[in-house]
Each structure stands twice: as structure tokens, then as C-alpha cells.
Amino acid sequence: MRTDALRAEALTVSLGGRRVLDTVDLAVDTGETVGLIGPNGAGKTTLLRAVIGLIKPDRGTITTGAGRPGYVPQKHEFTWDFPITVGGAVLNARTGTRWLVPHRRADRDAADAALDRVGLADLADRPVGELSGGQRQRVLVARALVREPGLLLLDEPFTGVDVPTQELLTELLGRLAAEGTAVLMTTHDLAQARATCTRLCLLNRTVVADGPPAELSDPDLWLRAFGVAASGELKALLAGTDPR
């Protein structure tokens, strides 16, 4: 039986005196993968940060299931020149800054399992600064998974990564959903979102439309969400064809 892993009701957020989110209502069930789609400045990242408590809403409520959500930020938000190994970066996400305290076996096992899920087990001893862009993205995902969250939030996970990483992440998100993990991710890649997500939420300060990808083929919805006319490429993508 599916239950709410995330429910935001009448969520309103202002930053620097500007209204960024206005009366947002959104629910994500366990085992569901929801793509958050919208133009730059639409409030997508703000919504994720409000869910994990980094931003305090003006009003409205956010309810999540048991445990802290896992959060995968954009790659530039991690300090990649910090002198730490891949394995250490993942383990640290679970244990915090307990540098002088021996790690529990359960923590080490969880870190090993997270690295294995993202295909980086063989790079556990490599410094994070030596990784490629795709490998760095996998580290961020492993850091989110190591705490075994019931809700996973990802901010532009497919941006700037190679095809093998895209394929690995797509397969991984599918497995997590099958295991009951709820996933909410922001993305500009409409084709990838349609292939990966069970639902799409079009956001521009508020929810413009929300439903399965097949039900959001009306170009008027995208015009309202992005404030631009539907291009030939967009129409092709909405029709499920390759515009190239």
C-alpha cells in the first residue's frame, strides 16, 4: 500500500523579499518518481531545500515520512578539492564529522553498499578530486543513499554527466522506486524525465500541472509553465518522438 513520503500544502517561500514559491501543493507517494519541471528561477531548487529544512517557509506545511530525506545537490555545491577519498566522502555523509571515533561496522557496510549501488566500489580509495564529472555525480548519489532514506531528492542529476552515468542513474532510480523509495528530482531534460518519471510536476512559483507524462501533452500547459511558445522540438518531445 502506498503512503505519502512527502506532502507540501500551501507552501509559500520568499527569498530576499521576492516570492519564490506561492501556495504550492505537492504529494509524492512511496515508490513514485516525480520529475519537477520548470524554467530557471521557477523555485525548483528552493522547494527541495525547503523540504530538507535549509529554507524556512513563510507559511504552509511540509510533512515527510520517517527519517531524514536523502538530498543530491548539484555538483558545484560539493567541495571537490577537499582531501578525502571516495569511500570517506560517502561514509562521512552517514557519520558526520566523527573523525577520531572508530566507525561502526553498520556504517562501513552501509557505505560499501551505497558505493556498490552507484558502481564506484572499485574507486573507494581514490581522492574525490581525481574523479570525472559522471563519477562525481555518482558520489553525490551514494552520499544520499548511505543513510537509507525513504525519500530521495535530486537536483539536476542528469546535467553534465556522460551517457553511462545517465543509464546507471536511470536504472538505479527504477530499482529504488521498486523497493518503495519515493523520488523527487528537478531536471531540464524533458526526454529523460518522460523516460524515468511516473509523474511530472510543472512548476513556476506554483504548480501549473501535475500528472503522468502521457497526460501532459497539451502545449498550453508548457506555455503557462515556461512562458514561451511551444517550439517544434518541444512538440516532438511531447509527442514522444526524436526531434533531431
Name the band, by pLDDT with cuts 50, 70 and 90, for residue 241.
very low
Is residue 244 pLDDT above 60, yes or no? no
Q: Cβ(145)–Cβ(97) under 8 Å?
A: no
CA distance 239 to 6: 30
Go through the domains of the chain in sequence order and give each one's CATH number: 1-69+149-244 (3.40.50.300), 80-148 (no CATH)
β-partners of residue 85 are 127
- The DSSP call for residue 127 is B
**Mean of pLDDT values over 118-128:** 95
Mean pLDDT value of segment 59-78: 90
Quick one: which of 9, 10, 48 has its CA closest to 156? Answer: 48
> Could you please report the per-residue DSSP string of 35-50?
EEE--TTSSHHHHHHH
* pLDDT greater than 90 at residue 243: no
**Each residue's pLDDT tens digit, 187-238:** 988 888 888 899 999 999 999 999 999 898 888 888 888 876 555 555 555 5
DSSP3 helix / strand / coil % (the chain, rounded to 5): 40, 25, 35
* Mean per-residue pLDDT of the chain: 88
pTM: 0.89
pLDDT band at 186 (very low <50, low <70, confident <90, very high): very high
- Nearest Cα to Cα of residue 135 among 168, 172, 113, 110: 168
pLDDT, mean of residues 116-123: 95
Highest mean pLDDT among 61-70, 75-84, 114-123, 215-224: 114-123
What integer pLDDT is reported at residue 100 of this predicted model?
Answer: 53
C-alpha cell at 100: 577520531
> Would you say 208 and 42 are in contact if contact means Cβ atoms under 8 Å apart?
no
Are 41 and 29 in contact by the 8 Å Cβ rule? The answer is no
Q: How remote is the C-alpha of 75 from its chain's centroid?
A: 12
Q: Is the pLDDT of residue 67 over 90?
A: no
Residue for grid cell 523516460:
195
Which one has a higher pLDDT value, 87 or 101? 87
% pLDDT > 90, the chain:
65
Distance CA 23, CA 205 (A): 8
In this structure, the dihedral spanned by the alpha carbons of residues 111, 73, 34 and 24, taken in order and rounded to 10 degrees, is 130
Q: What are phi and psi of 184, to 5 degrees?
A: -130, 120
Which of 21-35, 74-88, 205-219 is the most confident on average? 21-35
Model pLDDT for residues 134-177, shown as the tens digit of each residue: 999 999 999 999 999 999 999 999 988 889 999 999 999 999 99
